[in-house]
Structure 1
């Protein structure tokens, strides 16, 4: 059956797609979200939940600006999602640390933060803390930590509550979410686009926003996009719940609101393989114990691998199809940090209003320019 109710169809029901749909609904559009199969590679169900600014865009000023805008939007965005859904996202933006056990890495990251501050000016602040000074504030930090950096703008959220909250909020605002709607083919037609789903049904859409993460590659080509995403694996550990709260948040060790610790930070270019590995798990455990020796006695309950969605240069892509202007593509690996931007300001860009943010630096033409340089 062909359905015509929605003005805009968002392909992809993860955090990026749902936040984008939320923003379009706030802007008064009629929106349908097509959520794929349960077996799809879903970055939204395995991420670390960070709302993070430190180090982002050190080598690419537009990304530093975008990330700064996003973290500033998060408090109001979280409140809006909670109001619409009734779900507390457990947002905490009280600042975060990056811990370093290697002097060279510490020095390199300090340079990154200096570059970031040169771009952002008074919109960014950070501290560089030598190891001994850090242990005076946090005696539990191990002697193997050579130093840390701190940014008061960093924080985290419960990522599964964010995903659920966005689903409920999109529905509450009048959006339609179609479950099990994996799109196999998109065909441009006079009225917009016709989509063939894996289950045999067909839908049409005047406008399409492709937010399908790792599932975007075949559909992107059909819509005339040049961007090809790749998978990057990250692995995580979850510990038992602790009675006491950690006195800090870091990008590799965070305590979730339910009490357990989430330990992560690995990167591996292994293609669409989300299996955990003993070597990486051992490295995560060793890092955690080096930072906090007391964790040696804490039990690990679960471990898994999850896939990040990476563009060719690692930065977000916001682009419209030159061949089919009614199609747009949105992809990034910082879906949680950027969710507040996607759920608010991105709608102005998609609608091409006077208030549209300047996202020219994130257009996919940069890949063609790089290839010809």
Structure 2
């Protein structure tokens, strides 16, 4: 079953309150009253968040900085991050910790890589670096850096890089890639743009990748526009992903091996000119989304809720909206979205990342020149 939401963006447009620096926001929800408390501000377009074992936070900033956050302040930028193309939607993007991070310090970073760093003549493409994080006081450095993945076709676009990194239950990495603003690339099975790739931690290609005839061997799935949120369901290791549509047509998909998710042949959105895209909303052999949004909310960040603070939401999906300025909860029953709840409409700004913390609270990053790290929890917690 697929649910379509039309009214959410209309509600958001009617709400224009933006939180001032340091001001907590409250909202009534299906789980009671929630409080959004600003933990730190002054982050420059923060993109991704991870929780360090010692209770601190690790955050990427799109201009090319990786910082540790402790006691309401960002530390000295980590040394040794990759060279990035901080232009348009590009820059330093996602962050993931290896399952054995506490012992090895291994992390993965995705970013828009300039041609010169890749030994190419022109263009930019999505890349992934593996490195060992060594923390020292309020900062630290990356050692043993190794670029384990890069797109096989760079171009001059500054749009649609993706890109989220999800560590699978077997330790292999899923990396989401946008179509770079050229929609037909998402159906070119030899071009990694507009797909989800699956690689080993050293960048090699797992033997059990789908290996569809004519597909690049890195592919897990194809037919995606610009996926900016992805997460695993712990119960079965299934990969879920949200991606931007054009004018309408944002999607939630369960991303399965060897499947084609249709962009731009099928979509629930239209071109920004108002003209139709592709052949319509369905075609045999192409996957339907579990859920879609029209108008768009520009989803970014995605996580399953697991925690004791909000037990009624256990197993539900949480995601942010950039143009929507909203935190969204999707009430999940298996793979079915049975209800949707819009939270903090227009109150917090452009929500770029959403992560559920070890304490059961919900942590958000807002995408702004003065971006914030925000903790959402039941009032009094």
- TM-score bracket for the superposition, by shorter chain length: under 0.3
- The structure with more helix, counted as a fraction of residues: 1
Using the size of structure 2 for normalisation, the TM-score is 0.25
- The structure with more strand, counted as a fraction of residues: 2
Using the size of structure 1 for normalisation, the TM-score is 0.26
